[in-house]
Structure 1
Amino acid sequence: MSKILVVDDEPSICWGLSRLAESLGHQVQVASSAEQGVTLAAEFHPDVIVLDVRLPGVDGLTAMKLFRRLSEQTPIIVITAFGDLKTAVTAVEQGAFEYILKPFDLHEIRTAIERALRRTPPGASAATIAASSAGVEGMLGCSPAMQVAFKRIALAAASEAAVLLTGESGVGKELAALAMHRHSPRATGPFVAVNMAALSANLAEAELFGHVEGAFTGATQTRRGLLAQANGGTLFIDEVAEIPPSIQVKLLRALDQGEILPVGADRPVKTEFRVVSATHQDLHQLVDRGEFRHDLFYRLCTFEISLPPLRDRPQDVPLLANYFAGQFGNGRAVLAQETIDELLRRPWYGNVRELRKAIEHALVLARSGSVLPSHLPAPLPSFQSSSSPKTAEGRLNEAVTELAQSLLKNPELNGDVYDRFLQVVEKPLLTTALSQSGNQCAPAARVLGLHRTTLKRKLDQHGIADGGAE
């Protein structure tokens, strides 16, 4: 039987966790404050501590230091309903075994307790994070989705794992990368960012790997590449899906070997850095289509963090808007309630970047005092078709449109375009339906909504063999 100490000022949480722990055969003590919890811990010697962040008197994060004085070995599971990036980072920095967001289900907390009891953390298990206490500009959010993101950023910051940040343009992927760097053991090293979409294929190699004098026309002096400049720090590769195939091979070798070969050089240069990459595209699909190397994908994506679009976390809009108003308005501008209401109605296809632009625009017109809805710029149209990963239906629509244009331009097909078009697009559908139905005509016909004899006739027309008698 193990001993579990629950420190939370919510009676319902204490009751629920007590019943859970007792059902698992453990002994439980409950405290409603950090001070009471520390006193109990000194007598009770718990094997696991479940600790809330917001407590009357001493807060949970401060209390972690007090519990650590009693025992460096006891796993502490931190729970909170008010997570943010600073809270998550501090919890990890002080050696939290797990960081769980309220509301949580019993399975989640049970799993955490069982894992904590199976593992006795070594004395040095607390993550060593060389980080400043300053926040990262614009990395704000009180929504559950952002609290989850903050937790994953904090956990990733304490490791050396390669991280892939995904999400639409404007959600703050570079801010997340910078947060991981500032709260990591590499915080004193350089943070080097490169946007692959801004580099042509010809320039990418020289920018990333550097070059020696005379390596190519215009190379009048030796230049260190970005990978060398990131030595000892973090390399942030934005729009990683845009890396040219020829560079993908060379980057993979650099990451595996810890050395680079500048353009025109005859000996490699050692460099060691942590890589964080980002994309708004679906790298999994690009790998499946052979447009991105699978071995490089696995090298870059040890840990993935998805940042939600602003329209999926509307409760963060007032928080961000007031932050930007305070930042750009020097504390003199105030957002009227009707302005907040208008901001909440907008879809924010450009995400946080669009919101920031809107507040800056409004402050120019309002100058000082109250910011009204009339000061806001007109809402921007959706740019999702160009910035978001294309769905299979979207890619098919493009291909079908291209096929239709090609057929309609062919004078030899005059009067026969429709039949030729159907021949091309119908055959893959029938073949796939038949394959997924075990090569049997009847179930395939039911899925397609066709009569079995109609389907068999079409299969014959296309020369597709079915499974015969059923």
Structure 2
Amino acid sequence: MKEKVLVIDDEEAIRKSLRMVLEYEGYEFLEAASGREGIEAVRRDTPDAVLLDIKMPGMDGLEALDAIRAKDAHTPILIISGHGDIPTAVDAIHKGAYDFLEKPLESERVLTALRNAVERKRLREENLRLRHQVEGGLRLVGESRALKTVREAIARAAPAHATVLITGESGTGKELVAWEIHRLSPRAEKTFVKVNCAAIPEDLIESELFGHEKGSFTGATGRQIGKFVQADGGTIFLDEIGDMSPRTQAKVLRVLENGEVEPVGMAKTIRVDTRVIAATNKDLPARIRTGAFREDLFFRLNVVPITCPPLRERREDIPQLVEHFVGDLSRDTSYRPKRFGSDAVESLRARPWRGNVRELRNAVERLLIMVEHDTIEARDVDGVALETAGAATVGGAAPVGAGGAPAGSAETAPAAGAAAAGAGRPQGSLEPPDPVAFRTLQDYKDEAERVFILRKLKENRWNISRTARAIDTPRSNLYKKLDQYGISRDQVQE
């Protein structure tokens, strides 16, 4: 979905000029010729960002800003001002504007400011989503000794500033543990920024983490704020850090040692106060022995180690997990309420669950869809849940609820319900999806988009800029899709 940008300006020439720039960059352009029209457009169209001229006849920019902020406190508003209006623009910043742009407008400055504003809005919404999920029941479910040990480690780690290294197999809930540490920490009201290190190509991960200056490399058309700076005062979660290159590891080590980041192309460093939580499903000591991971970085990260146990080591939690998933799915979807018989639960307890909590949830969802009667029995589990065996990482897997990673995390594939409907499709599959296998139109569209992106990445040899141009989308949007669908480079190199 395109990000919507509303331009409120009485000058038609400026609106036309901005339309050309924004539509070329893949934004959906909205316009209003006065402050009053702009206020109505914000209410009606819910834009992702607003460009607001400070000087307009009738209601001026400051009045419009006040009126918009009275009803919408969070949509980023960028003020357009002339040189003589700088004091007024600064006043607008104090009133809640995100940034100001001085006339004559430079397209690259506009685009950079917009990208940063929209990204900040996205991070805020992501944090709210995670917070609501936790309040609504997304949590570590179970009373096993192994899970109690994890909870105790979270409680000890949360108040400190120390780095945390979370290890465990895929699907065990590493991102949820990271979020819980942040939520219970003194930084809870600040930003939680997640970076999937496996989904970003080597030539761009430094720019993503530390930012870059305009012209610092081919395709760097404007300044970009890095994830460490975005997380300043809060927490950065470096997922799949075992896939990070030694070069980038050295730069992360510098942040941990000095609290400074050096954006690509910038001659000076920026100080940040960012807590680092990292996670991996790799054997880091083994990677240290082969030279693939820095030992000094490992020691810096491993101050507070937390291991997420695989589901096979806490089978006593499975009945409680099943009960939770049934309630969660029945509440949030159109599935008819069903119950699991004791023999069905025992059958689920006996399975290996190589995909851990994620695979169990997918199996429960599949059973809710495929079984017609109200009580699910062991024979239903044998006939349906077994079809998900070995498909722990499914291209259209449902978001993990209790005990797994939060929906949309790197450990969770994107489309709710798609796993149950289209199980058996490997995550790296380039074959077009079969519409019959999907429960909803959205599930099918998500899977089709994932396959389309994988194909284009393969055609362009994982060159992000070239792929973004080929499919006519901003590079930032392509990154979001890689993260949303859990696409990593090894899936493309087939």
Task: Tell me the TM-score normalised to structure 1 length.
Answer: 0.51
Q: Counterpart of 2:265 in 1: which secondary structure?
A: coil
Distance (Å, rounded) in 1 between the aligned partners of 2:313 and 2:177: 18
Alignment of 1:202 with 2:211, yes or no, is no
Q: Is the 8 A contact 2:278 2:301 kept in 1?
A: yes
Q: Is the 8 A contact 1:131 1:182 kept in 2?
A: no
> What residue in structure 1 maps to residue 390 of structure 2?
381
Q: What is the CA-CA distance between 1:302 and the residue it aligns to?
A: 0.4
Alignment of 1:257-336 (within 5 A): 257-330=258-331, 332-336=337-341
Q: Counterpart of 1:198 in 2: which secondary structure?
A: coil
Q: What is the CA-CA distance between 1:301 and the residue it aligns to?
A: 0.8
Q: What is the CA-CA distance between 1:210 and the residue it aligns to?
A: 1.1
Q: What is the CA-CA distance between 1:131 and the residue it aligns to?
A: 13
Q: What is the CA-CA distance between 1:150 and the residue it aligns to?
A: 0.8
Q: Is the 8 A contact 2:359 2:391 kept in 1?
A: no
Q: What is the CA-CA distance between 1:203 and the residue it aligns to?
A: 1.5
Distance (Å, rounded) in 1 between the aligned partners of 2:159 and 2:136: 16
Q: Is the 8 A contact 2:210 2:261 kept in 1?
A: yes
Residue 186 and residue 136 in structure 1: after superposition, are their counterparts in 2 closer, same or farther (change >3 A)?
Answer: farther
Residue 261 and residue 136 in structure 1: after superposition, are their counterparts in 2 closer, same or farther (change >3 A)?
Answer: farther
Q: Counterpart of 1:170 in 2: which secondary structure?
A: coil
Q: What is the CA-CA distance between 1:270 and the residue it aligns to?
A: 2.0
> What residue in structure 2 maps to residue 140 of structure 1?
141
Q: Is the 8 A contact 2:144 2:314 kept in 1?
A: yes
Q: Is the 8 A contact 1:346 1:379 kept in 2?
A: no
Distance (Å, rounded) in 1 between the aligned partners of 2:222 and 2:246: 27
Residue 368 and residue 177 in structure 1: after superposition, are their counterparts in 2 closer, same or farther (change >3 A)?
Answer: farther
Higher RCO, 1 or 2 (CA under 8 Å, sep at least 6)?
Answer: 2
Distance (Å, rounded) in 2 between the aligned partners of 1:296 and 1:213: 30
Q: What is the CA-CA distance between 1:136 and the residue it aligns to?
A: 6.3
Q: What is the CA-CA distance between 1:290 and the residue it aligns to?
A: 2.4
Alignment of 1:47-126 (within 5 A): none
> What residue in structure 1 maps to residue 361 of structure 2?
356
Distance (Å, rounded) in 1 between the aligned partners of 2:274 and 2:330: 38
Q: Is the 8 A contact 2:358 2:392 kept in 1?
A: no
Alignment of 1:150 with 2:151, yes or no, is yes
- Output the amino acid matched with 1:225: G
Percent identity of equivalent pairs: 41
- Output the amino acid matched with 1:159: A
> What residue in structure 2 maps to residue 48 of structure 1?
none
Distance (Å, rounded) in 2 between the aligned partners of 1:131 and 1:363: 25
Distance (Å, rounded) in 1 between the aligned partners of 2:223 and 2:374: 53
Residue 242 and residue 352 in structure 1: after superposition, are their counterparts in 2 closer, same or farther (change >3 A)?
Answer: same
Alignment of 1:230-245 (within 5 A): 230-245=231-246
Residue 156 and residue 368 in structure 1: after superposition, are their counterparts in 2 closer, same or farther (change >3 A)?
Answer: farther
Distance (Å, rounded) in 1 between the aligned partners of 2:196 and 2:142: 25
Q: What is the CA-CA distance between 1:376 and the residue it aligns to?
A: 2.9
Distance (Å, rounded) in 1 between the aligned partners of 2:331 and 2:164: 35
Residue 163 and residue 354 in structure 1: after superposition, are their counterparts in 2 closer, same or farther (change >3 A)?
Answer: same
Q: What is the CA-CA distance between 1:337 and the residue it aligns to?
A: 2.3
Distance (Å, rounded) in 1 between the aligned partners of 2:312 and 2:324: 18
Q: Is the 8 A contact 1:318 1:340 kept in 2?
A: yes
Q: What is the CA-CA distance between 1:379 and the residue it aligns to?
A: 4.5
Q: Which consecutive unaligned segments of at least 5 residues does structure 1 have?
A: 1-129, 388-470
Distance (Å, rounded) in 1 between the aligned partners of 2:132 and 2:328: 23
Distance (Å, rounded) in 1 between the aligned partners of 2:229 and 2:298: 21
Q: Counterpart of 2:185 in 1: which secondary structure?
A: coil
Distance (Å, rounded) in 1 between the aligned partners of 2:198 and 2:303: 23
Q: Is the 8 A contact 1:131 1:183 kept in 2?
A: no
Q: Counterpart of 1:305 in 2: which secondary structure?
A: strand
Per-residue CA shift, 1:320-349, capped at 9, x if unaligned? 111111111128232222321221111100
Q: Is the 8 A contact 2:359 2:388 kept in 1?
A: no
Q: Is the 8 A contact 1:213 1:219 kept in 2?
A: yes
- Output the amino acid matched with 2:351: R
- Output the amino acid matched with 2:188: A
- Output the amino acid matched with 2:357: V
Residue 380 and residue 229 in structure 1: after superposition, are their counterparts in 2 closer, same or farther (change >3 A)?
Answer: same
Residue in structure 2 matching 1:343, options 348, 353, 360: 348
Q: Counterpart of 2:198 in 1: which secondary structure?
A: helix
Q: Counterpart of 1:329 in 2: which secondary structure?
A: helix
Alignment of 1:221 with 2:222, yes or no, is yes
Distance (Å, rounded) in 2 between the aligned partners of 1:162 and 1:327: 33
Residue 329 and residue 376 in structure 1: after superposition, are their counterparts in 2 closer, same or farther (change >3 A)?
Answer: farther
- Output the amino acid matched with 1:305: I
Q: What is the CA-CA distance between 1:174 and the residue it aligns to?
A: 0.6
Q: Counterpart of 1:275 in 2: which secondary structure?
A: strand
Q: What is the CA-CA distance between 1:265 and the residue it aligns to?
A: 1.7
Distance (Å, rounded) in 2 between the aligned partners of 1:271 and 1:360: 43
Q: What is the CA-CA distance between 1:154 and the residue it aligns to?
A: 0.9
Q: What is the CA-CA distance between 1:147 and the residue it aligns to?
A: 0.8
Q: What is the CA-CA distance between 1:268 and the residue it aligns to?
A: 1.8
Q: Is the 8 A contact 1:136 1:179 kept in 2?
A: no
Q: Which consecutive unaligned segments of at least 5 residues does structure 2 have?
A: 1-130, 394-410, 412-494
Q: Counterpart of 2:187 in 1: which secondary structure?
A: coil
Coordinate RMSD, CA, aligned: 2.6
Residue 168 and residue 231 in structure 1: after superposition, are their counterparts in 2 closer, same or farther (change >3 A)?
Answer: same
Distance (Å, rounded) in 1 between the aligned partners of 2:134 and 2:213: 40
Q: What is the CA-CA distance between 1:133 and the residue it aligns to?
A: 8.5
Distance (Å, rounded) in 2 between the aligned partners of 1:351 and 1:316: 12
Q: What is the CA-CA distance between 1:371 and the residue it aligns to?
A: 3.4
Residue 382 and residue 133 in structure 1: after superposition, are their counterparts in 2 closer, same or farther (change >3 A)?
Answer: closer
Q: How many residues align?
A: 256
Alignment of 1:423-438 (within 5 A): none
Distance (Å, rounded) in 2 between the aligned partners of 1:182 and 1:368: 40
Structure number with greater Rg is 1
> What residue in structure 2 maps to residue 165 of structure 1?
166
